[in-house]
Structures are given as C-alpha cells and as structure tokens.
C-alpha cells in the first residue's frame, strides 16, 4: 500500500497540473471502489481547483464547495494525461480539467477510495487522525506522550494514526533500525532519549523517501509513470535473512500485527 511518502510524491506530481485550473466535469466508469463514489463527486462541474493537499495518506483536491478525498488503497495510482487519451483497463475515474488534461485514477484491485467532504465539515476518516510527522505538530514530546501508557510493541504504536499519521510498515521498519530500537519492545519501556531520537529519524526517513520519489515495491509509480527509487536505500525492509548492513549478522524477519517486520537482534535493543 502506498505510504505517506508515495502519497506526497503523487501530490507533488499532480499539483502543478490541477491548481488554478477549472474542474469541468467528472467521469466515473466504475463507482464501486472500496466504497461507492458519492453523487457529490460525480455531479461536480465547473469549479475552480484551489489546492491539492495531503492529510496522512489521503489526498484532498480542494474546491469552493468542499474537497474530493482520494485514497490510493493497495494498487491505485494517479496520472495526468491529455484529454483525448483513451481510457485503459482499470481507469475508473477522470477529472476533466480546463487545460485539456485529465487526472485519471487507475486502481486494479479497487481498494482505493474517492470520497467527499463538504466545505466546513471534516470527514469521519480524517477526524481522529494524529499529528503530521513532517510538521512541528509531531515532536519527541508527542511521541513520548503517545507511548507513555502503551504496552503494545513500539512498532505498532508508531504505526497508530492517532499517535502520528502516515508511518506505514516500510518506514516504521527503517526508522526503528536507524534509532536502534527493537520493534517488539513495549512502547512504554523505550527510554525517552531513544524516543526523541526516533521522532527525528522518522522525519528524516520520510523526507528522504519523498526526495527519492517514494518506494516502488510492486504497484506504486509516480504521476509521470516513473518508479520510486527509495527501495535502493532500504536498510532492513525486504531484507530478512540477509546480512545487517551494520554488523553483518543475519536480519530477523517475523510477523508483528500481521505485517512483515525485519530487524537486527544485535543493533536493535
């Protein structure tokens, strides 16, 4: 599933083509994605696009009357094409723009979502989200507070969107390795100094992934069709059984919260 860096890369890729343009109309070829695409989206026409924003792993296309909320799910990706480009298989939604281009959502598995948030309202999916990791709202203090009463594994707490949004499986693995923290350690047992380091490492890891265009493992690609290159910099994720790049001991791979977790028994305590 695309994580925060991949969604931010998508936002950066499509924003120049959308912001300041007019949304002429919407074409929905398949309305049944993870949820039914609401009438409020399908009936949109002739509205200026004010901004393209991101909240956690959601993209928000802001119009005067509200926001189109996009989630890429497991296999969704966005592309900007000329308005006369024929639709391909799994091209489920088009936003027709005044610059003769189309923002097109392709989603093979249909686990993505297209939702609506009216002006002045907050969609229930966004209402309970925690702080953004790349802003000042997320700091060592918020992470320490979020872990203080949690006995769950630190990796699971780090992936809890109420503690901090958008730190998915790939980047949780990477950040915990860089901070030298065992992912299975109870969150409330991790020393404050290590949590302070972890908060910094999370920011650095996500920012580096955005610069590299995200991580392409299988389905993700950037808005221009190029893959993300951060996979080449992964230190532990996807490397279970291979030598640790710091101590050369084989990396351990387990399932934690039904997600693949890779770590070094020597370097992470």
Instruction: Quick: pLDDT tens for 51-63.
Output: 999 999 999 999 9
Residue 34 belongs to a domain: yes
Mean pLDDT of the 17-37 span: 97
* 83 and 189 housed in the same domain: no
Looking up tokens 């769950």, which residue turns up?
A: 152
pLDDT of res. 137 = 96
Which residues does the annotation mark as catalytic? Answer: 2-3, 57, 259
Mean pLDDT estimate for the chain: 92
| Residue 135 located in a structural domain | no
| Domain, as residue range, for 56 | 4-127
90 is in an annotated binding site: yes
- The CATH number of residue 174's host domain is 1.10.8.50
Q: Which of 127, 157, 178 is the last residue of a domain?
A: 127
Average pLDDT over residues 244-257: 97
Partners of 185 in the beta sheet?
A: none
How many domains does the chain divide into? 2
CATH number for the domain spanning 44: value is 3.20.190.10
269 belongs to a structural domain:
no
48/115 same-domain check: yes
Task: Kindly state whether residue 132 falls inside one of the protein's structural domains.
Answer: no
109 in a labelled binding site: yes
Q: Are residues 59 and 26 in the same domain?
A: yes
For 37-61, what is the mean pLDDT? 97
Based on the domain organization, do 87 and 35 belong to the same domain? yes
pLDDT at 216: 40
Residue whose token pair is 């996009």: 70
Among 68, 99, 127, the domain boundary falls at 127
Q: How far apart (Å, rounded) are the C-alpha atoms in residues 226 and 216?
A: 9
Condensed to tens digits (0 to 9), the pLDDT of residues 180-230 reads: 999 999 999 999 999 999 999 999 999 988 887 754 433 333 455 444 334
Residues 63/53, Cβ–Cβ less than 8 Å: no
Instruction: Tell me what pLDDT residue 35 has.
Output: 97
36 and 111 both lie in a single domain: yes
Give the strand order in the sheet containing 76-82: 76-82, 101-107, 91-97, 22-28, 45-55, 58-63, 66-71, 113-118
Segment among 74-78, 116-120, 238-242, 252-256 with least mean pLDDT: 74-78
141 is in an annotated binding site: no
pTM for this model (two decimals)? 0.88
* 119 within domain boundaries: yes
């Amino acid at each position: 599933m695309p994580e925060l860096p991949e969604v931010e890369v998508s936002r950066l890729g499509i924003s120049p083509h959308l912001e300041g343009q007019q949304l002429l109309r919407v074409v929905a070829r398949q309305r049944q994605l993870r949820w039914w695409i609401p009438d409020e989206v399908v009936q949109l026409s002739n509205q200026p696009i004010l901004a393209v924003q991101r909240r956690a792993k959601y993209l928000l296309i802001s119009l005067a009357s509200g926001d189109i909320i996009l989630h890429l799910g497991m296999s969704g990706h966005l592309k900007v094409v000329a308005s006369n480009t024929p639709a391909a298989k799994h091209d489920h939604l088009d936003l027709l723009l005044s610059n003769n281009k189309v923002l097109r959502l392709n989603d093979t598995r249909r686990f993505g979502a297209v939702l609506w948030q009216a002006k002045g309202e907050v969609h229930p999916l966004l209402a309970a989200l925690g702080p953004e990791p790349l802003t000042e709202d997320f700091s060592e203090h918020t992470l320490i507070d979020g872990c203080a009463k949690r006995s769950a594994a630190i990796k699971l707490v780090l992936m809890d969107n109420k503690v901090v949004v958008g730190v998915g499986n790939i980047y949780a693995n990477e950040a915990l390795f860089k901070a030298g923290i065992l992912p299975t350690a109870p969150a409330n047992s991790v020393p404050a100094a290590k949590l302070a380091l972890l908060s910094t490492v999370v920011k650095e890891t996500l920012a580096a992934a955005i610069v590299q265009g995200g991580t392409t493992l299988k389905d993700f690609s950037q808005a221009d069709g190029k893959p993300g290159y951060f996979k080449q910099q992964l230190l532990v994720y996807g490397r279970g059984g291979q030598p640790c790049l710091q101590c050369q001991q084989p990396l351990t791979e387990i399932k934690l919260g039904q997600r693949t977790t890779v770590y070094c028994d020597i370097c992470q305590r």
